[in-house]
Amino acid sequence: MPQAINNWQMDQKTDLSKPAAKPKYISTFRALSSYAKPHWLAFLGVFLFTVVAISAELLQPFLVKIAIDDMLIGGNGDYSGLLVIGGVYLGLSLLSLLFTYMQNNLLQYAGQSIVARIRKQLFEHISKLSMSYFDRMPSGSLITHVSSDTEAINQFFNQVLLSLLRDGMTLVFIIVLMFQLDVQLTLYCLILLPIIALIAIGFRSYMRKTYQMARTRLSRLVAFTAENLSGMNLIQVFHQEKEQGKQFKERNDSYFQANVREIRTNVLFNRSFEILSNISIALVTWLGGKAVLDTNLEFGVLYAFITYIRQFFQPINTITQQWNTLQSATVAVNRIWGIFAIDPEVDDRKDAKPLDPALVEGNISFDGVTFGYGGGSPVIRDLDLHIKAGSMIGIVGTTGAGKSSLISLLCRFYDVSAGNVTIDGTDIRNIPQASLHRIIGLVQQEPYLYSGTILDNVRLFDETITREAVIRACEFVGADPLIRQMKDGYDTRLSERGSGLSAGERQLISFARIIVFEPKILILDEATANLDSHTEQLIQSALQLVSAGRTTIVIAHRLSTIMQADRIIVMKKGEIVEEGTHTELVDIGGYYEELYRHSQGKSMTEAG
């Protein structure tokens, strides 16, 4: 099971058991308002457009009232007045439509710009965080923050803010117009306000629960699906399709039930409002009708009143519906701002000075280095290692011995707990990370390839590196014939992580990267995957070419790769237990000799 997704699921599970943290609405508004500030002109425009759109819409019943009272009932048979009213009515509709359209577009634009900026800053911030953060934080959660959480903020602008503005203003305008028409009738209608508030509060907490339940169950379903897709080969090989199908069904059913419950609650809430609206209309028809019959009220006023009452409930309903969106936006803002508040544990010192790559020789020293992940028990213990510039050293050792950890310390993915690591005598903590990483080239066990062309993968999307330079590098490491055989040669597009290429081809491409970027220090975490002897030969000679003139550290899984190394170190439980050339180590008769005998036996068996 991929670790990240596993952790993500665990995360979702713990989230469920935790009581939901109290949302901080004020701090959400404050956080977002700093991003909204540069767009104040757009928001002012939205406000003005909303005023025009709502006024145009709400004046329409008023026009009909004038037509009824002044032209139909009390009029003198003047058709032209009716025609004018009809024309103005149509004009107001068009005006409302136009300004609603402009208001929506402007708000969408401002909202999207804000969210795009937050997303960009979040991505940049995450890219600067230290490896220790990524150890703690499952990548699934980070994906959620960059995608879903920023989307929740987008909804805040395009739904919550829009509704507060538009529906809030509509409500105020309607109440003013109703008071304008008839004070007594308006007061009767407002008697219903406390009942509306009670219903809204009652439903609010229930709706929040059903909404959260549906979201959590959806997250689980998505995590399960993602995990299954990435491990589909294992599922098929172990005939787990039925079992996984059963588990998927359980999650799917539980999401379905949560959804049904959410919809049921929403429908019930909407209908309650409709009933209230109808009660008000009945009340107004009865009281207003009586007043019309008693000639205390004009018929047109009653008509306009009933229309406004109908329009009165809809905005209240919409505003209440925004509660869930507001809440998820608040949670999203809290989570995103929580990430912004995290500083990288490995940071550049203020007085750090970059090294000139042209002057770097590549002498490396680990002096009394001790290190443990997250300050835990040491996985590297008081280690001393000195590597001369331009030499090649091989590292072998038991699994979990600390080989990769040693490399991570040299790349400064983590800081040592004690001792120091130096390059040409300079403590790497005194070198800015960007400068350090320009000196070091890393070829990982599973070279990472991006979705993009071979060309872009070799030059890592750095357009300043020419196509010719890439081709020369690939020719140099022997990858060129392989690439030319591909459908579009150097322009062949690779799928995610280069899944269309063999392990050997991926390594050759990452060797070409080294040639292109010319680091002084080369680190190779050799692939464990079985390569056919032809590819192994290719990699072997490519390594010799690439390592020439560079300080090279190879974590070896196949001894054949490092037999020619200037020095080999053997690690066990975070310490160097044997050290020397191949011949010296075989003579010692220790762990290395045992490994060597093993590999010889294996190749004899293979040969036999």
Ligand X SMILES: Nc1ncnc2c1ncn2[C@@H]1O[C@H](COP(=O)(O)OP(=O)(O)OP(=O)(O)O)[C@@H](O)[C@H]1O
Angle, helices 503-517 vs 533-547, to 10°: value is 10
Largest CA distance in the chain: 122
Return the number of the residue (402 or 498) whose C-beta is nearest ligand X: 402
> Looking at beta carbons only, is 299 or 373 nearer to ligand X?
373
The contact set with ligand X (CB under 6 A) reads: 135, 373, 379, 397, 399-405
Q: Where are the beta strands (DSSP E) in 496-560?
A: 521-525, 551-555
Report the sign of the C-alpha dihedral through residues 404, 407, 409, 413, in that order: negative
Q: How far is the CB of 472 from ligand X (least distance, A)?
A: 33
Nearer to ligand X, 89 or 373 (CB): 373
**CB closer to ligand X, 135 vs 250:** 135
Tokens of 585: 């180590």
> Which of helix, strand or coil describes residue 494?
strand
Nearer to ligand X (CB atom), residue 65 or residue 403: 403
576 beta partners: 571
Nearer to ligand X among residue 146 and residue 379 (C-beta): 379
CA–CA distances in Å: residue 242 to residues 221, 235, 237, 249, 385 = 17, 10, 12, 10, 53
Judge whether 376 and 387 are in contact, CB under 8 Å: no
- What minimum distance in Å lies between the beta carbon of 525 and ligand X? 8
Minimum distance, C-beta of residue 311 to ligand X, in the bound complex (Å): 60
CA dihedral 359, 362, 368, 371 (to 10 degrees): 100
> In the bound complex, what is the minimum distance in angstroms from residue 209's beta carbon to ligand X?
37
Residue among 95 and 131 whose Cβ is closer to ligand X: 131
> Cα angle vertex 378, ends 372, 384, to 5°?
100
CB of 207 to ligand X, least distance (A): 42
- From residue 482, alpha-carbon distances to 469, 477, 508 in Å are 17, 11, 10
> What's the rounded Cα separation, in Å, for the pair 193 and 305?
16
Q: Which is nearer to ligand X, 133 or 323 (CB)?
A: 133
Please, which residues bridge with residue 506 across strands?
Answer: none
As measured in angstroms, the least distance from the Cβ of 594 to ligand X is 16
Half-sphere exposure of 434 (CA within 13 A, CB side): 4
Angle at 577 between CA 573 and CA 582, to 5 degrees: 125
How far apart are CB 5 and ligand X at their closest, in Å?
17
For the chain, give the number of residues: 608
444 vs 502 by CB, closer to ligand X: 444
Q: Which is nearer to ligand X, 375 or 425 (CB)?
A: 375
- Give the C-alpha separation, 511 to 509, whole Å: 5
Torsions phi, psi of 384, nearest 5?
-115, 130
Laid out side by side, the sheet with 575-580 consists of 440-443, 521-525, 551-555, 392-397, 567-572, 575-580
CB of 573 to ligand X, least distance (A): 9
| Shortest separation between residue 347's beta carbon and ligand X, angstroms | 19
CA distance 530 to 553: 21
Closest distance between ligand X and the C-beta of residue 9, in Å? 19
